[in-house]
């Protein structure tokens, strides 16, 4: 799907609800497609076992067993918990061609997907903003 605005997400809230629910940085990233600075995110170096969820709706997005240190400055994963947890859209902003990752439940921006991940794990890197996630410790 090329134009995300035409898709209706099952758990999408009115923007005023997101403004109440999310802190300013999370709102800017999740709802306005921003990004956090590299090497500053809360989960960049997190090595605990658990589940990463969309901060806007609680949808399970990534399991810690699929997280790895790519050196890019953001949490990186090799695959989502299930293929239908995310939507992928082409992003042509900032003079680049990238694949944007959105939460399949609420349509919130999570980060981007690149073809430079570990070759022995599918070759895909999901580069995700920490402020777009919540982490639930100990869920294996």
Q: Active-site residue numbers?
A: 127
Tell me the C-alpha to C-alpha distance, in Å, between residue 35 and each of 7, 50, 52, 87. Answer: 22, 23, 17, 18
CB 46, CB 52: distance < 8 Å: no
**99 close to 87: Cβ distance less than 8 angstroms:** no
CA distances in angstroms from 51 to 17, 60, 71, 134, listed in the order given: 24, 7, 21, 8
């Amino acid at each position: 799907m090329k134009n995300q605005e035409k898709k209706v997400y099952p758990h999408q809230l009115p923007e005023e609800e997101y403004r109440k629910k999310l802190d300013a940085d999370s709102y800017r990233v999740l709802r306005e497609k921003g990004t956090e600075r590299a090497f500053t995110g809360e989960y960049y170096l997190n090595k605990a076992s658990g589940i990463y969820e969309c901060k806007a709706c609680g949808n399970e997005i990534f399991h810690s067993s699929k997280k790895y240190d790519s050196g890019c400055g953001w949490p990186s994963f090799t695959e989502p918990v299930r293929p239908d947890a995310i939507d992928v859209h082409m992003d042509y902003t900032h003079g680049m061609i990238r694949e944007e990752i959105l939460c399949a439940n609420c349509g919130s921006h999570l980060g981007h997907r690149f073809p430079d991940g570990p070759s022995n794990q599918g070759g895909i890197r999901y580069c995700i903003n920490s402020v777009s996630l919540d982490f639930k410790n100990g869920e294996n």
